[in-house]
Structure 1
Amino acid sequence: MLFLSLSILLSVALLLNFRLFPRYEVNTFQAIVFNYPVCFLTGLLLLPAGQSFSIDLGQTWTWLALGLGVGFILTFLLSGASTQRMGITVTSLANNLSLVIPVCFSLFVFGAGGKSFDLFNYLGLALALVAVGLSTFKKERPVVSTEDQPKPRRLGAGVLLPVGVFLFYGATNTLINYMNIRYIPSADKTVQVTLTMVVGAIAAGFVMLTVRLLQGRETIQFRSLIGAVTLGVPNFLSFYTLLLALSQFGGNGAFVYPIYNIGVILLAALLASLFFQEALSTANKFGLALAILAIGLISWQELARVFGQ
């Protein structure tokens, strides 16, 4: 559970970065683009002794990893568009509920992990989905229309944006799990695969940044470079430890992803309450309590093994 716990902690560190960026006037888009070179340098430092990084375009997994890196950027942009068009609540729910996709693939397609799910495990999965929905639900304040405020736009195809967020997040997490099962035979190969994903994200990010610079929509800010460092190091390490956690549990995404998702939600809610005075509704509190129960049901065999020793 060490790598899974570290991944949860590091992922919450990412959320804290995003929460603090506006306070320090950091351009979030630029920080995200520049964070990937920082990720790459972090990964190089973690390469096992005697290994060097190279890209072999003759390997199938190389193209999958590069495509996954591009998928990271596209998913982020889709999330931003959905947040602006449909709101934070709907987008957050779509993001977190997407865990059902890698879980179902892990259970019924990959058959990974060597763990047979029983009734309590399946009940835990169902409760995890309910817990994620309740714990991330925020009642948005209605916007009062005035002559000085633009009238709300018709939603139209915008309703498809949360669906896209759900599918893209689910697809990227499923592909991560697949690559971990199929193309990472040992832990010492994890950094190589992860660095290749980062290369794809770097390429896509810099293409988009260049276009925005040429259009005059961006000017490089020094604060963004600082933000890229504070974002890039935990970003790489959170993903790296998540891959190690998947390897540790035999690629069992049905076990890892629910605990990872609700673990992030629980810790983030605690820190938000302590340091940012973010209030929790009754639904949020019930969802967090339900999340703890879901973790216990999903992992009761592992917990029994640990406490039985």
Structure 2
Amino acid sequence: MFTLVASISCSVAVSVLLKIARSRQIDVAQAIAFNYVMAVTLTVLLLNPDPQGFIHNPTTPYWVVIALGLLLPSIFLVMAKAVKHAGIVLSDAAQRLSLIIPLIAAVLIFGESLQGFKLLGILLGLAALWCLTLGSKQVDSSPHPHAMHWLLGVWVGYGVIDVLFKQLAKSGAAFSSSLLITFSLAGVLLFIWLLSQKVTWRLRNLYAGLLLGLLNFGNIYFYIRAHQQFPDNPTLVFSAMNIGVISVGTVIGAIAFKEKLSRSSLLGIGLAICAIIALVPR
């Protein structure tokens, strides 16, 4: 169970780091850029990718790779805004609810039919998202007027990224190589953008970014390891990861950051957990 606990801890810790960034005078964009330096390094050291095979594979969908390279740093920035204005609790819940986006895409794009628990899970998830965005207006004493928009951005962004990674997997591309190329592209594009903005580089942003990259990669790595340790029980990994992040995020947000939750927010969190249970692979 260590791998599951580690993955959940890393995921929530990313939100915590984004939450305290402003109070520690950390430039989030710079931190995200350096995050990819750490992520690329760890991918090479721990996952043994084969970038040449990936690049020269004629079936590699390069448009997906480019889209991921643009979306990965963008959604990090959106997540930072959501955590800042809507809080850790609602942002983590919105991120976890993004798992219903691939199911919606399967119906709208690929013509698959939905029934039973999958349909129930999508309906519960959409209801949960509506409650979370409604409750985001009452997160603190001075709520941001666009908090709900950042939450919707988190939901859509992570959902689209999930769809794109699934498209990469269908193309036959190795997961480790896909991570390496997309992390590298995302980092290069973000550094180019920062250089064009003539930002003032700070050492604290480098340290924060390396820590962010360690946590971000740790979430992915330990999640993969958990599936490897429980090959016959993916349901355990799926449900524990998603429900665990929402539950731990709720506790930390309420205790450490005194995040206030309205009735709509609490209902949304409850519906989100019910949606995840309904969507558990059977």
Q: TM-score, normalised by structure 1?
A: 0.67
Give unpaired runs (5+ residues) of structure 1: 144-154, 302-309
> What secondary structure, in the 3-state scheme, does the structure 1 residue paired with 2:56 have?
coil
Taking the aligned partners of 1:37 and 1:211, their CA distance within structure 2 comes to 19
> Displacement of 1:264 after TM fit?
3.1
- Between stretches 165-174 and 22-31, larger displacement belongs to 165-174
Taking the aligned partners of 1:280 and 1:231, their CA distance within structure 2 comes to 27
Q: Does 1:221 align with 2:206?
A: no
Where does residue 60 of structure 2 map in the other structure? Answer: 61
Q: Does 1:200 align with 2:185?
A: yes
Contact 1:69 1:200 in 2 (8 A): yes
> What secondary structure, in the 3-state scheme, does the structure 2 residue paired with 1:61 have?
coil
Where does residue 139 of structure 1 map in the other structure? Answer: 137
Q: Does 1:264 align with 2:245?
A: yes
Question: One-letter code of the match for 1:174?
Answer: V
Contact 1:65 1:194 in 2 (8 A): no
CA change 1:79–1:268 in 2 (3 A) is: closer
Where does residue 123 of structure 1 map in the other structure? Answer: 120
Q: How does 1:65-80 map to 2 (within 5 A)?
A: 65-76=65-76
CA change 1:82–1:17 in 2 (3 A) is: closer
Write out per-residue CA displacement over residues 102-141 of structure 1, whole angstroms, 9 at most, x where no aligned residue: 12235676799xxx97523421332122223324532257
CA change 1:3–1:80 in 2 (3 A) is: closer
Question: One-letter code of the match for 1:223?
Answer: R
Question: One-letter code of the match for 1:61?
Answer: T
CA change 1:129–1:199 in 2 (3 A) is: same
Taking the aligned partners of 2:126 and 2:241, their CA distance within structure 1 comes to 13
Where does residue 280 of structure 1 map in the other structure? Answer: 261
Q: Does 1:20 align with 2:20?
A: yes
> What secondary structure, in the 3-state scheme, does the structure 2 residue paired with 1:24 have?
coil
> Displacement of 1:239 after TM fit?
3.5
Q: How does 1:85-234 map to 2 (within 5 A)?
A: 88=86, 98-106=98-106, 119-135=116-132, 137-140=135-138, 168-184=157-173, 189-213=174-198, 218-234=199-215
> Displacement of 1:267 after TM fit?
2.4
Taking the aligned partners of 2:215 and 2:104, their CA distance within structure 1 comes to 28
CA change 1:267–1:109 in 2 (3 A) is: farther
Contact 1:194 1:240 in 2 (8 A): no
Aligned Cα root-mean-square deviation (Å) = 4.4
Write out per-residue CA displacement over residues 133-169 of structure 1, whole angstroms, 9 at most, x where no aligned residue: 32453225798xxxxxxxxxxx9xxx99988766544
Give unpaired runs (5+ residues) of structure 2: none
Question: One-letter code of the match for 1:173?
Answer: D
> Displacement of 1:17 after TM fit?
0.9
CA change 1:66–1:233 in 2 (3 A) is: farther
> Displacement of 1:260 after TM fit?
5.7
Question: One-letter code of the match for 2:164?
Answer: L
> What secondary structure, in the 3-state scheme, does the structure 2 residue paired with 1:46 have?
helix
Q: Does 1:299 align with 2:280?
A: yes
Question: One-letter code of the match for 1:175?
Answer: L
Please, which of 264, 271, 274 is the counterpart of residue 290 of structure 1?
Answer: 271
- Percent identity over the alignment is 27
CA change 1:68–1:240 in 2 (3 A) is: farther
Question: One-letter code of the match for 2:131?
Answer: L
- Between stretches 12-21 and 66-75, larger displacement belongs to 66-75
CA change 1:160–1:15 in 2 (3 A) is: closer
- Between stretches 171-180 and 202-211, larger displacement belongs to 171-180
Larger radius of gyration: 1
Contact 1:44 1:53 in 2 (8 A): no
CA change 1:72–1:128 in 2 (3 A) is: same
Write out per-residue CA displacement over residues 68-88 of structure 1, whole angstroms, 9 at most, x where no aligned residue: 12221244456778999xx75
Contact 2:39 2:217 in 1 (8 A): yes
Question: One-letter code of the match for 1:18?
Answer: L
CA change 1:163–1:111 in 2 (3 A) is: same
